[in-house]
Amino acid sequence: VPPLVPSPRQFGYRTRVKLVVRRVGSKPVIGLYIPETHKVTDASACAVHPRQVNSVVQALLEAIEELNIPPYDEEKDTGLLRYLDLRYSLWSHQVLLTLVTRNMHFPQARDLIRELERRFPFLSGIVQNIHDKPGNVIWGERFYPLFGRDSLVEKFGPLKLNIPVSAFAQANPPVARKIYELVLEWALLKGDEIALGRCQPGVGAFPNQVALKLGQRREDVKDQPTARGRGIELLLQAAETDPPCC
């Protein structure tokens, strides 16, 4: 077994955060399901979340009460706000927030956006996702930008990738980079490989790392075609992501 590769960060490393919004007693709670239950425990100050993410979550807790935004009730299929999805870029230090609601009608949206925009200059965008069916699947099918951008740029090694709100990307980019480098070292690429297939590559961080590595191997070879890493992705938003830049 190869030696363990530690994370460069022990805390504040998780750049993708999905949280449940519910009411427990008389208070709103934003957090995670306790294992094997649908009881929610508070995660608004989780140590593995970046400080900026926790700040936005805590502000949302306050806003839910102040603006009277009803958390979703799973048993009755009532209420409005079901889930939060937050992305954080270690490269740009920006946060992208998605509010998953039970229906499109969101009368408090304007006041909420105004307050979050005022308090958090690092908030690059807010998106509303409509999930109007019972069940505990997080995403609905419809996304509507409410403010700013609906994607976030993150850097994986030398590549900068544009990540849409619903696309998969590794939650710990520095560790992902170490994994990619180790796999490429094991692969012993020579530069004459044609393609590498991988299912569900998300926004393509690994296939593009492969293409970059092949390109480096080919740069001294005259008339070689452009190197490409190829993957198979089911999510249209991820497949249509803008190409990376160095």
pLDDT at 150: 94
Q: Which of 205, 228, 208 is nearest to 218 (CA)?
A: 228
pLDDT at residue 102, rounded to an integer: 96
User: What's the DSSP call for residue 190?
Assistant: -
pLDDT, position 93? 96
pLDDT in tens, the chain (246 residues): 778 878 888 899 999 999 999 999 989 999 999 999 989 999 999 999 999 999 999 999 999 999 999 999 999 999 999 999 999 999 999 999 999 999 999 999 999 999 999 999 999 999 999 999 988 889 999 999 999 999 999 887 777 888 888 888 878 888 887 877 777 777 777 666 554 555 444 555 656 666 665 555 444 444 444 445 555 555 555 445 554 544
For residue 15, give both structure tokens: 């750049």
Cβ-based burial of 228 (10 A; exposed 0-12, middle 13-18, buried ≥19): middle
pTM of the model: 0.80
What own/partner pairs with CB < 8 Å and gap ≥ 24 does 42-46 have?
A: 43/19, 46/14, 46/17
